Amino acid sequence: MKFAIQINEGPFTHQAADTAYQFTKAALENGHEIFRVFFYHDGVNNGTMYGVPPIDDRNVSAIWSELAEKYDLDLVVCVAAAQRRGIMDEDESKRHGKGAANIAPKFRISGLGQLIEAGIEADRLLVFGD
Partner 1 sequence: MSTLHTVNKSPFERSSLDTCLSVVSNDSTVLLIEDGVAGALQNTTASSSITDAMGNGVKFAVLGEDLGARGLSADRVMDGISVVDYAGFVQLAADHDNVQSWL
d(CA 65, CA 46): 10
> Quick check: 62 binds partner 1 (CB under 8 A)?
no
Q: How many residues does the chain have?
A: 130
Please give the angle made by the CA atoms of 103, 104 and 105, to the nearest 5 degrees: 120
Beta pairing, strands 124-128 & 2-7: parallel
Shortest distance, position 44 Cβ to partner 1, whole Å: 17
Confirm whether 73 is a catalytic residue.
no
Contact 85, 44 (CB under 8 A): yes
Restricted to residues 30-49, the positions that interact with partner 1 (CB under 8 A) are 30, 32
Binding mask 6-25 for partner 1 (x = CB under 8 A): --x------xx--x--xx-x
Q: Which of 78, 79, 88, 122 is catalytic?
A: 78
Site residues (vs partner 1, CB under 8 A): 1, 3, 8, 15-16, 19, 22-23, 25-27, 29-30, 32, 123-130
